[in-house]
Structure 1
Amino acid sequence: MQHIELLRKKQVGLRLPEYLVQELDELSAEYDLNRSEIIHEAIRAYLEEQKSRRFYSEFEQAAKELKAVVYGDACGQSLQDLIHELEDQ
């Protein structure tokens, strides 16, 4: 659960193309939400996706480095290649 201080809201300005505002309004009417709720959820989901991508990218790089250390200067493999190789042993 988020700390109460992190849940405080701050107003920001935002300019969007008209077609996005129209789509946003259609979606908000369909699900009985307001624009802010939809934009909030979209930004939160986007940030989580970016964090996840960064984590897996860094994890894959760490796996390549680990393999290079374990096997000497082995050519860098992808995470999937390393997993398959370890499963076959």
Structure 2
Amino acid sequence: MMTHYTTDEIHGHAVLQMMDESGLTYSRESLLAAINEKFGEGARFGICSGGNMTASELIEALAAKGKFVGEPDAFKFDPSAMCNH
């Protein structure tokens, strides 16, 4: 059974869109800082396969799902990896 995020969580797509629109490359640390700045340090996130994640947990989940391309300290979102829903 798939676990879905709740309505008070920010969907991971919002983070991926932020990354895509920035045109920047990120390290995990700089991405975490950008997420905290945009969404707040206490924000919780959800993706199709789970929810109630911190920003750090979201970054790990997105990386594990192959959403990023590049080097560990200079990666960006791969738009071709966006799920269409």
Q: Which TM class, normalised by the smaller chain length?
A: under 0.3
Q: Which has the higher helix share?
A: 1
- TM-score, length basis structure 1: 0.24
- TM-score, length basis structure 2: 0.25
Q: Which has the larger radius of gyration?
A: 1
Q: Which has the higher strand share?
A: 2
Higher RCO (CA-CA < 8 Å; seq separation 6+): 2
